Amino acid sequence: MITGKDIAEILGKYNLDKLAIGTLGSHSSLNIFKGAKEEGFRTVCICKEQDTILYKKFPLADELIIVKDFTELLNPALQEKLRILNTVLIPHGSFTAYLSTEQLTDSLYVPMFGNRQLLHWEANRKSQEEWLRQAGLRLPETFKTPDDIDRLVIAKLPGAKGGRGYFLANSPESFYKKFGEMVKRGLLREEDVGKIHLQEYALGVNVYPSYFSSIIKDDVELLAVDRRYESAVDAIGKIPAGEQLEIDVNPTYTIVGNFPIVLRESLLPEFLRMGENVHRKARELAPPGIIGPFCLETVVTDDLKIYTFEISARIVAGTNVGIGTSPYAYLRYGPNMYMGRRIALELKEAREQGRLQEVLA
């Protein structure tokens, strides 16, 4: 495991005046690079050959390191190159999508903005639930067996990519009927029944608030709110109910983009408290708690209850809707503040105050 001592040693050899901000070339890289440049940092992009057009058309990367595959980030020679460039890595969704938690905590000898220990809490559904519940958030209830189903539930197969194979049921009978149909269609196997996660279905609209936990300012800021644009689920409503039944469409959730949201103002106090509480709990579980961006995945019901079903303790791509400005970043900082820039600002202030190591845990 990479320790604070390892990071201190690496930083000791860095030329801090030439500190660069680096990340994998996808997900929210343009957001991160633009913010870095606006705060005066050099930028390093680890990129696949076929994606280089992105950084030609949007010239925000000072260094392009071409790789075949993002797992090359584990290559010692590549890491050495990043260190020579005085790079601090900003993790985003592609880090956890292409590398394992263990690889990120044990084999990445490059300073990374954030708290690596929280990756373990985030990666496991059970520990993540514990974290959020202990922070006092409202989570959808889970059911141990299909026989306990007494309301509308969503049945999730672990590791189901993009919601493929998810289905809804409102009684044990409807569960077994639908499960049987899924087995017949070859989407599930009989023995999967014990592995299915049964969760109360929160009927409402999805809201994804993005926060920034600042170690330097000792504050949790709400910077942006978005919702997702998902295929096929956002397409189903365009087909009349009769045809929906005929073609048997699956409500999959493959992400295509995001929309900004401005929340009803009376919901803000609760969302602000939730952000504070999640960080406070994280500080107990893995000091110093969340470093930098995090996002809660919530559903708000028609009686204005907020259900949280996931946390991402890193920048989410939904913050791309705020590149330039989001209303909440504007209210806090004035024009031209957004998640990528907020990260760079934190690194700049940490460097000025000689506290860099505190944000590279």
As measured in angstroms, the least distance from the Cβ of 46 to ligand AMP is 12
Backbone CA torsion sign across 52, 58, 64, 69: negative
| Helix 125-134 and helix 268-285, axial crossing angle in degrees, nearest 10 | 120
Residue 31 CB partners (closer than 8 Å, separation 6+): 315, 319, 320, 323, 338, 339, 340
Closer of 251 and 288 to ligand AMP (Cβ): 251
As measured in angstroms, the least distance from the Cβ of 22 to ligand AMP is 16
Residues facing residue 50 across a β-bridge: none
The region, left, alpha or beta by phi > 0 then psi within -120 to 50, assigned to residue 187 is: alpha
271 vs 135: CA distance, rounded Å: 13
**CB-facing half-sphere around the CA of 355: CA atoms within 13 A:** 15
As measured in angstroms, the least distance from the Cβ of 299 to ligand AMP is 5
| Helix 339-352 and helix 29-38, axial crossing angle in degrees, nearest 10 | 40
As measured in angstroms, the least distance from the Cβ of 328 to ligand AMP is 18
As measured in angstroms, the least distance from the Cβ of 278 to ligand AMP is 17
Closer of 257 and 288 to ligand AMP (Cβ): 257
279 vs 209: CA distance, rounded Å: 14
As measured in angstroms, the least distance from the Cβ of 168 to ligand AMP is 9
As measured in angstroms, the least distance from the Cβ of 154 to ligand AMP is 5
By DSSP bridging, strand 42-48 and strand 20-24 are: parallel
Task: Name the site residues for ligand AMP (rule: CB under 6 A).
Answer: 26-27, 93-94, 97, 140, 154, 163, 199-202, 206, 228, 253, 255, 258, 299, 309-310, 316-318
Reading the block at residue 244, the tokens are 């929906």
Reading the block at residue 154, the tokens are 């969503």
14 vs 178: CA distance, rounded Å: 58
Interior CA angle at 354 toward 351 and 358, to 5°? 85
Q: Give CA separation, 3 vs 109, 111, 199, 241, 297, in Å.
A: 10, 11, 37, 56, 30
As measured in angstroms, the least distance from the Cβ of 258 to ligand AMP is 5
Closest CB to ligand AMP belongs to which residue?
93
Closer of 42 and 228 to ligand AMP (Cβ): 228
Closer of 179 and 307 to ligand AMP (Cβ): 307
